[in-house]
């Protein structure tokens, strides 16, 4: 899945949404068969169910095992020129920030994992396939294509969890469309679907309590892990909204034991022995988390898409996913109702967040080096070392939950502060244990 941590310094970290509202998807064979042209109509209306994105109150979840196919996004350009034109504007977001260069301490914190080899920011959604295939990080399985291409989305729907364990290179040859209309609309114009069914599995009945626009974004902008069984399927670490928070997600991982009784880990650091967890861009969990200032009255699309007017006077949903700070129309018509100077507010929150991220990040790096030295000395018992490792694992989890969440605190300042406070608390505990 994507590395969505976009350019802190230029406020691009606000980008949270996937494709929602307005652009439609049609039919394409994920095995490379000839595509069928979409049915052109003058109305961007769904075929049978009477719902549109604007009227939906509950999610539509894609059915599995139907043999569904997908149409390339470009095949919808004639029918939906405004939506497609703004979708292609995502290509203008082509900057890549090297996070290892920007925050060198992460080379230590992610030591032994792919993000210590290469960690660059995501560009516009139109680049996602290019970026995942060219990254210096290893990717053996097709699960790395989750959310990158409509073809993988259809493949998982048709083949089930077995699709995730396919070879990366085999699925790469099937790709004809990057992140596209199908992700959020399946094959129905203007209707929002959850096409990544692991989100529906994780939320259960609670899926009906979440706005479809948030679900559309949340199926990709979220915290996930790959199952440890033979499927290696993309999976969420919670069951329902009540457990969709950092504390319960951590407990989920801690309670998932292997045959030796060890808690789940994304990798084990060789020099410290810490069973590390790597958090992934948890925008969905953060935005909907306790303390969120906007979750009760706004959606991801309200801030990052919005309605715009074409030259001919037609109004449509913007599909260029940007920060609201980059849309004067949105600032004037929406944000100004509550914010006197949104840019200044955002800058202040992000500065406070990144300052604390860096302070704790460098402190985690120092603690990591000290633990590695203690392990190398061989004078401490495994029981003592394991206590330090557990505190260090927990500290880095809470720090990482903020570091990789793209808003840099803006989506939920309350939860952000709580996570960083807990990271500091467990870091202090690890240092105290090391000092004994």
Residue pLDDT, tens place only, 220-252 = 999 999 999 999 999 999 999 999 999 999 999
Average pLDDT of the residues in 313-330: 89
pLDDT score for 195: 96
Summarize the confidence of residues 215-224 as an average pLDDT.
96
- At 136 the pLDDT is 79
Q: Tens digit of pLDDT for each residue in 338-376?
A: 899 999 999 999 999 999 999 999 999 999 999 999 999
Q: What is the pLDDT of residue 4?
A: 47
- Judged by DSSP in three states, 134 sits in helix
pLDDT band at 306 (very low <50, low <70, confident <90, very high): confident
Q: Is the pLDDT assigned to residue 106 strictly greater than 70?
A: yes
pLDDT over threshold 90, residue 401: yes
Strand-pair partners of 275: 268
Q: Is the pLDDT of residue 328 over 70?
A: yes
Report the mean per-residue pLDDT for the chain.
87
Structure confidence at residue 44 as a pLDDT band (50, 70, 90): very low
3-state secondary structure of 141: strand
SS3 306: coil
Asked if residues 222 and 236 have their Cβ atoms less than 8 Å apart, the reply is yes
Mean pLDDT, residues 59-78 = 91
Whether 159 has a pLDDT exceeding 80, the answer reads: yes
pTM metric for this prediction = 0.88
Pick the closest to residue 268 from 183, 393, 146, 163 (CA basis): 393
Mean local confidence (pLDDT), 1-18: 41
- pLDDT confidence tier of residue 27, bands split at 50, 70 and 90: very low
Question: Quick check: 149 and 128 in contact, CB under 8 A?
Answer: yes
pLDDT confidence of residue 55? 73
- Looking at residue 22, its pLDDT comes to 36
| pLDDT tier for residue 56 given thresholds of 50, 70 and 90 | confident
Determine the Cα–Cα distance for residues 180 and 164; give it in Å rounded to an integer.
Answer: 19
**How far is it, in rounded angstroms, from Cα 22 to Cα 82?**
10
The CA-to-CA distance between both ends of the chain, in Å, stands at 41
Q: Whose CA is closest to 382, among 393, 371, 394, 396?
A: 371
> How much is the average pLDDT of 212-222?
95
Q: What is the pLDDT of residue 19?
A: 36
The DSSP line for 391-416 is HHHHHHHHHHHHHTSTTTTSS-HHHH
Task: Return the minimum-mean-pLDDT range out of 3-7, 96-100, 306-310.
Answer: 3-7
pLDDT of 24 over the 60 cut: no
222 or 337, which is more confident: 222
CATH architecture of the region 8-336: Orthogonal Bundle (1.10)
Give the residue, 100 or 178, on which the prediction is more confident.
100
- Comparing C-alpha atoms, which of 25, 8, 6 is closest to residue 16? 6
Residues 31-37, mean pLDDT to the nearest whole number: 32
Q: What pLDDT, on a 0 to 100 scale, did the predictor assign at position 322? A: 87
Mean pLDDT within 390-413: 97
Q: Quick one: pLDDT at residue 42?
A: 30
Average pLDDT over residues 402-420: 97
> What's the pLDDT at 49?
52
Above 80 in pLDDT, residue 293?
yes
- Mean pLDDT, residues 188-215: 94
Whole-angstrom Cα distance, residue 324 to residue 6? 15
- Does the pLDDT of residue 51 top 80, yes or no? no
Separation between Cα atoms, residue 333 and residue 314, nearest integer Å: 17
- What share of the chain has pLDDT > 70, as a percent? 88
Q: When comparing pLDDT for 98 and 136, which is higher?
A: 98
- The mean pLDDT value for 396-410 works out to 97
pLDDT of residue 5: 54
């Amino acid at each position: 899945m994507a590395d969505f941590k976009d350019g802190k310094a230029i406020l691009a970290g606000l980008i949270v949404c996937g494709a929602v509202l307005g652009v439609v998807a049609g039919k394409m064979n994920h095995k490379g068969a000839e595509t069928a042209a979409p049915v052109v109509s003058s109305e961007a209306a769904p075929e049978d169910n009477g719902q549109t994105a604007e009227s939906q109150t509950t999610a539509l979840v894609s059915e599995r095992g139907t043999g569904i196919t997908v149409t390339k996004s470009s095949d919808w350009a004639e029918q939906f020129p405004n939506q497609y034109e703004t979708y292609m504007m995502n290509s203008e977001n082509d900057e890549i920030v090297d996070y290892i260069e920007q925050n060198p301490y992460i080379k230590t914190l992610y030591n032994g994992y792919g993000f210590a080899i290469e960690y660059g920011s995501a560009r516009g959604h139109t680049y996602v396939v290019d970026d995942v295939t060219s990254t210096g990080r290893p990717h053996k399985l097709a699960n790395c294509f989750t959310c990158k291409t409509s073809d993988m989305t259809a493949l998982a729907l048709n083949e089930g969890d077995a699709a995730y364990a396919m070879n990366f290179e085999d699925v790469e040859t099937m790709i004809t469309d990057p992140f596209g209309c199908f992700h959020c609309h399946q094959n129905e114009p203007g209707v929002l679907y959850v096409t990544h069914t692991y989100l529906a599995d994780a939320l259960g009945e609670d899926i009906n309590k979440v706005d479809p626009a948030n679900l559309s974004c949340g199926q990709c902008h979220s915290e996930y892990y790959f199952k440890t069984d033979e499927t290696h399927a993309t999976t969420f670490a919670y069951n329902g909204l009540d457990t969709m928070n950092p504390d319960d997600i951590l407990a989920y991982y801690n309670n998932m034991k292997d045959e030796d009784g060890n808690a789940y880990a994304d990798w084990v650091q060789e020099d410290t022995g810490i069973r590390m967890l790597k958090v992934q861009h948890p925008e969905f969990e953060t935005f909907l988390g306790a303390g969120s200032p906007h979750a009760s009255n706004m959606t991801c699309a309200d801030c990052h898409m919005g309605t715009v007017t074409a030259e001919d006077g037609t109004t449509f949903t913007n599909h260029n996913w940007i920060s609201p700070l980059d849309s004067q129309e949105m600032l004037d018509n929406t944000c100004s109702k509550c914010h006197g100077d949104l840019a200044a507010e955002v800058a202040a929150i992000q500065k406070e967040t990144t300052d604390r991220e860096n302070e704790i990040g460098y402190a985690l790096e120092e603690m990591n080096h000290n633990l590695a030295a203690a392990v190398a000395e061989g004078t401490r018992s495994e029981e003592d070392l394991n206590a330090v490792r557990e505190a260090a694992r927990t500290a880095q989890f809470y720090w990482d939950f903020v570091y990789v969440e793209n808003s840099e605190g803006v989506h939920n300042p309350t939860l952000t502060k709580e996570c960083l406070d807990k990271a500091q608390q467990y870091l202090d505990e690890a240092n105290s244990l090391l000092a004994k």
